[in-house]
Structure 1
Amino acid sequence: MSVSSLSRLLADSISRRKPYFSITTSLAFTTSSFADNYWTHLQKNDSNLEASLNSVKTELDASTVIEVLRRSVLAQQHISGLRFFIWSGHRPGYKHSSYVYRQACKLLDVKTDPVLITHVIDAYKLDGYTLSIKIFKVILNLCREADLAETGLRILKQMKEEFNCQPDMTMYNVVIRLYCSKGGMDMASDLMNEMMLLGLHPDMSMYVAMIKGFCDIRELEKACKLFEAMSEHGCKPNTVVYSALLDGFCLNGSMESGLKLLESMEKEGGDCSPNVVTYTSVIQRLCEKGKSTEALAILDRMEAKGCFPNRVTVVSLIQGLCDEGCLEKAIKMIDRVVAGGYVSFGECYSSLVIILLRMRRIEEAEKVFRNMIVAKVIPDGLAASLMIKNLCFESRYLDGFYLWNEIEKLGFFLPSIDTDIYSLLLAGLIKESNLVQVEKFAKSMADRKVHLKRPLDPYIVENLKRNGSKELQSFLKLNEESQ
């Protein structure tokens, strides 16, 4: 039976599917000649679609694949589009990237309607098309991208029972990891045992996924048994595996066991030495449990082992110390890590400001921020945006303006500052009739082509047009036109 015949049989299901792109978009089927050639062959509705595609000698790349998929969706030919995607995924010299798989999931809406995968396999069977391992791998990778564990499991069973095709280790890996991510550890364990009975041995990534999966559902004993069994199957634990188990201990409240495991890693060394991710994980868990002083001791240990903290480590400590009201300790810790050259003053103090603002400790955040400016330490865009925003919310518009002005004097423009904050500050300055500051601020916005997000009071705008400078009048006019 041809693809067109099958499409009619499945019309009820497919017709309900909404196109990802509107017909009114600028696509209009006007694209590269590469996509034109493949699209022409898809339109022929040959009984052997793949043979027809094989005859095309046109170059195949990611943009061509995505464009053909778009056309298929617009034309409501989802099965043909998916068959093209599967066919193209195992062509010599070409391989779908993660980006292409993501686009296919979005365009075909596979995540919310996985029955399309079932339909395409039915289409292959009706056309008598022989399915290879390569075809099933593309389909399973699509399931992985769409997070479809049950569909992936169904495909594994179909391969063996209907197509006499034996899945390999990488294919089992895809489905096992999907179940691990969902907490379906019984099924993941069954699949691993099934795989091993076939003489296929788990790789390191599968062990990590399984151990993490057991830890996530608080099955620490099973995670430990799997950890111990690894070596028996010729897969020696390394830092990644140790770290997964250690994080599981910490996450489930077994901090003492976690710290003992960390000590074992430090003693064993080599491929099992804890890295910055390992130490940071322990620090995060200690801080979450209100044990920031113990977390500082872990910082000492990691430095002693020649493993240096990164920004995530430092932010975790800042958050933990601030949660416990230990601002002075946080500042001392920042000075220490900055002196070691691990993280910059700007990164650390910007993070401190953000954390204090989110805790509504505005006065302390402002003090830290102003000390940064005095010391000529440039804040990041988020810290500056949040600081000015909070001043505006307290109707301290002049303070917000002067703070912005001080940042400008440092010769640093904040490209990441939210346009809405510019609008908020300008509106506040206008409201309080601070015309000198309005002129300067509006000129800076005009120079940088920053447009207002929110419209200003019409009465105030008219007044400024009459009394403001030509530059201000021009700025207001441009923003009115862009609204």
Structure 2
Amino acid sequence: MIRNKTSIHYPSTFPLYNHLTQTRGISPDKYTYGLMINICAQMDRLNLAFTFLGQLLKEGHRIDAIIFSPVLKCLCSGDRMRDAALLLHTMPKLGAVPNGFSYNILINGLLSYGNTDLALQLFFKMVKIGGECEPNVVTYNTIIDGLCKESDLTKAFHLYQQMYSMGIIPNNVTYTSLINGLCKVGALDRAEKLLLTMVYEDLKPNVVTYSTLINGLCKHGEIERAMELLHSMKSEGHEPNVMTYSILIDGMCKNAKIEKAMKLLHSMTSEGHEPDVVTYSILIDGLCKHGDIEKAMVLLHSMKSEGHEPNVVTYSILIDGLCKHGEIERAMELLHSMKSEEHEPNVVTYNSLIDGLCKHGDIDKATVLLHSMKSEGHEPNVVTYNSLIDGLCKHGGIERAMELLHSMKPEGHEPDVVTYSILIDGLCKHCEIERAIELLHCMKSEGHEPNVVTYNSLIDGLCKHGEIERAMELLHSMKSEGHEPNVVTYNILIDGLCKHCEIERAMELLHSMKSEGHKPDVVTCNILIDGLWKNDEIEKVKELVHSMIPEWYEPNVVTYSNLIVNLCKNGETAKAKELLYKILSMIFEGQA
């Protein structure tokens, strides 16, 4: 009875074991101990597992590597790799020589935590030891998959070739990992060739292999090639499954091919492939992101009528879509509807609603919803607080936002760089520059590293407050701390310098920006043109237009419009007309 572990509820095993050994006086054998060790490991009760192991050794039972496998697995899954390695090293002293399976457990554990180099060292140790430790197809597949996930395809293909020299034939798992790795780095042609290699070697690709390649093609926008592969797999007698179709539908949605995705849904159902909640959720998400909220709602009712129950993900997608399109009341109604149907909302659901309410200025309703989610046992996270703080900052509640920041830590919620950046931006926009600077120092002292967005908000605040020198100092400070400015940083400073008639310094900053590898954009150009015109630097405007713009980007309608207005103001109507014709030709070419 004890050996049939699949039929037992684990906690009831211990009283049964005690009854048999203590009351009935039955001595456990090696297999009973092995089963108890396995059960303890699966219940993550390692101390008890080691107790049983100790009894097993004490009673003089001969043990082998398989006894240790559950314990090794448990140690690896609990991120106790050092302990697992120590146990592997100790096993021979306890009379159990590790075998290939023992090493495979450790290799898999190391790879799951990204320790590829250590996994390879262990692999080469297996090769050196040989015998029962010699790597098998599972070992190679595990290592190859780990290398592919790290995009180290050179080593992965080296091991693939080595398999043949060792007399180990690669299987579907090997090829699927390699195809996935190639797709990940965008080597789609090589991935397709590898699929053909499988066929050439009489190894039939399965639905997972095809789905992996279809997924890779979709992720790189190759929807037509993915569809061709779907038809090819069908013609070769490989039936796609719901995962294959869901991958394709997701790819179509992400590449704005919503109608094709809808057609594929109807096609799969007509061919007898039943969509699941994931398929429907993907399509509903695609429709929401495409702005087709009504179609998304129709699809929700359609899936229900066909017996497919939506889940919290489906509802959260729709609620988020409604909020992003300003339909807050309908989103709230959907929340009540999902609750009435006994679908429990989660923190993601509430975050969408709180963010939507805040963006529409309903801060009080958002606060009420925060208290409501807490009272229902749903713990808010940093995203929840960030939405509320952002809403308060944007709607005149800066003091309440600061209070909310101070309440986060006592409630066990750690603010992040986004929290601080939102508040710093809010303080700057409310002309509270000194408090914003204080908050920057505070976040640093608490171990939160500011990012380019944080610095941009402060630099913008300083520029708008007329403190150009401090803004420039902050630029140098961020660089010295290893924070790379971006084009937005430079645009803010160039704009600030231009508005304070510091044209020479603005031009110097432009050259400095270019020399540091930051390419100016359309905003940079428009800022400079506007600043130069306002400071009567007509020749510099011409120089900018004729020599600098072509090497940065293709001028757009906004750039030309800016130039036309200023040319007219300057009495140069002939040049203004010439530019106007250029704009019109651009517009008509765009419509063609």
Structure-1 residue corresponding to 2:112: 102
Would you say 1:284 and 2:277 are equivalent positions?
A: no
2:413 to 418, 435, 444: 418
Q: State whether residues 354 and 386 of structure 1, in contact with CA within 8 Å, keep that contact through their aligned partners in structure 2.
A: no
Would you say 1:361 and 2:359 are equivalent positions?
A: yes
Question: Partners of 1:181 and 1:378 in 2: how far apart?
Answer: 42
Residue type of the alignment partner of 1:205 = V
- The 1:291–1:125 alpha-carbon spacing in structure 2 relative to 1, beyond 3 Å, is same
Would you say 1:149 and 2:153 are equivalent positions?
A: yes
Residue type of the alignment partner of 2:160 = L
Question: Partners of 1:135 and 1:59 in 2: how far apart?
Answer: 18
Residue type of the alignment partner of 1:356 = G
Query: 1:190, CA displacement in angstroms?
Result: 1.2
SS class of match (1:273): coil
2:180 to 177, 182, 185: 177
Query: 1:419, CA displacement in angstroms?
Result: 5.3
1:90 to 97, 100, 105: 100
Query: 1:169, CA displacement in angstroms?
Result: 2.3
Structure-2 residue corresponding to 1:13: none
Question: Partners of 1:381 and 1:56 in 2: how far apart?
Answer: 44
Question: Partners of 2:68 and 2:140 in 1: how far apart?
Answer: 23
Please show how residues 137-286 of structure 1 align to structure 2 within 5 Å: 137-144=141-148, 146-160=150-164, 162-269=165-272, 272-286=273-287
Q: State whether residues 159 and 167 of structure 1, in contact with CA within 8 Å, keep that contact through their aligned partners in structure 2.
A: yes
> Unaligned stretches of 5+ in structure 1?
1-31, 33-54, 73-86, 405-412, 425-452, 456-483
Residue type of the alignment partner of 1:66 = M
Question: Partners of 2:303 and 2:252 in 1: how far apart?
Answer: 19
Q: State whether residues 319 and 355 of structure 1, in contact with CA within 8 Å, keep that contact through their aligned partners in structure 2.
A: no
2:81 to 66, 69, 92: 66
Query: 1:330, CA displacement in angstroms?
Result: 1.6
Residue type of the alignment partner of 2:285 = Q
Question: Partners of 2:139 and 2:372 in 1: how far apart?
Answer: 63
- The 1:88–1:284 alpha-carbon spacing in structure 2 relative to 1, beyond 3 Å, is farther
**Bigger relative contact order, structure 1 or 2, given CA contacts below 8 A and separation 6+?**
1
Query: 1:280, CA displacement in angstroms?
Result: 0.9
- The 1:247–1:362 alpha-carbon spacing in structure 2 relative to 1, beyond 3 Å, is closer
Structure-2 residue corresponding to 1:378: 376
- The 1:198–1:371 alpha-carbon spacing in structure 2 relative to 1, beyond 3 Å, is closer
SS class of match (2:176): helix
Q: State whether residues 211 and 243 of structure 2, in contact with CA within 8 Å, keep that contact through their aligned partners in structure 1.
A: yes
Deviation digits for residues 69-120 of structure 1 (CA, Å, limit 9, x no counterpart): 8789xxxxxxxxxxxxxx96723797458544324x427367xxx8x69x94
Residue type of the alignment partner of 1:351 = N
- The 1:211–1:370 alpha-carbon spacing in structure 2 relative to 1, beyond 3 Å, is same
Structure-2 residue corresponding to 1:350: 350
Query: 1:240, CA displacement in angstroms?
Result: 1.1
Q: State whether residues 243 and 278 of structure 1, in contact with CA within 8 Å, keep that contact through their aligned partners in structure 2.
A: yes
Question: Partners of 2:402 and 2:185 in 1: how far apart?
Answer: 52
Question: Partners of 2:287 and 2:226 in 1: how far apart?
Answer: 21
Question: Partners of 1:138 and 1:67 in 2: how far apart?
Answer: 20
Query: 1:277, CA displacement in angstroms?
Result: 0.8
Residue type of the alignment partner of 1:211 = I
Deviation digits for residues 16-59 of structure 1 (CA, Å, limit 9, x no counterpart): xxxxxxxxxxxxxxxx9xxxxxxxxxxxxxxxxxxxxxx99994
Q: State whether residues 246 and 261 of structure 1, in contact with CA within 8 Å, keep that contact through their aligned partners in structure 2.
A: yes
Structure-1 residue corresponding to 2:339: 338
Structure-2 residue corresponding to 1:466: none
Please show how residues 379-458 of structure 1 align to structure 2 within 5 Å: 380-382=378-380, 385-386=385-386, 394-396=398-400, 417-418=412-413
* Overall identity of the aligned pairs, in %: 22
Aligned length: 338
Query: 1:227, CA displacement in angstroms?
Result: 0.9
Query: 1:417, CA displacement in angstroms?
Result: 4.0
Q: State whether residues 179 and 187 of structure 1, in contact with CA within 8 Å, keep that contact through their aligned partners in structure 2.
A: yes
Would you say 1:324 and 2:334 are equivalent positions?
A: no
RMSD after superposition: 4.6
Q: State whether residues 214 and 229 of structure 2, in contact with CA within 8 Å, keep that contact through their aligned partners in structure 1.
A: yes
Question: Partners of 2:301 and 2:184 in 1: how far apart?
Answer: 34
TM-score of the aligned structures, taking structure 1 as reference length = 0.57
Query: 1:203, CA displacement in angstroms?
Result: 1.4
Residue type of the alignment partner of 1:234 = G
Residue type of the alignment partner of 1:243 = S
Query: 1:420, CA displacement in angstroms?
Result: 5.8
Deviation digits for residues 216-246 of structure 1 (CA, Å, limit 9, x no counterpart): 1222222112111223333212211111111
Query: 1:329, CA displacement in angstroms?
Result: 2.3
Question: Computing the radius of gyration over CA atoms, which structure comes out larger, 1 or 2?
Answer: 2
Q: State whether residues 168 and 200 of structure 1, in contact with CA within 8 Å, keep that contact through their aligned partners in structure 2.
A: yes
Q: State whether residues 353 and 369 of structure 1, in contact with CA within 8 Å, keep that contact through their aligned partners in structure 2.
A: no
- The 1:308–1:153 alpha-carbon spacing in structure 2 relative to 1, beyond 3 Å, is same
TM-score of the aligned structures, taking structure 2 as reference length = 0.48
Q: State whether residues 218 and 248 of structure 2, in contact with CA within 8 Å, keep that contact through their aligned partners in structure 1.
A: yes
Residue type of the alignment partner of 1:188 = A
Q: State whether residues 203 and 235 of structure 1, in contact with CA within 8 Å, keep that contact through their aligned partners in structure 2.
A: yes
Question: Partners of 1:273 and 1:376 in 2: how far apart?
Answer: 38
> Unaligned stretches of 5+ in structure 2?
1-49, 51-63, 88-96, 420-444, 448-592
Structure-1 residue corresponding to 2:297: 296
Q: State whether residues 85 and 106 of structure 2, in contact with CA within 8 Å, keep that contact through their aligned partners in structure 1.
A: no
Question: Partners of 2:199 and 2:402 in 1: how far apart?
Answer: 70
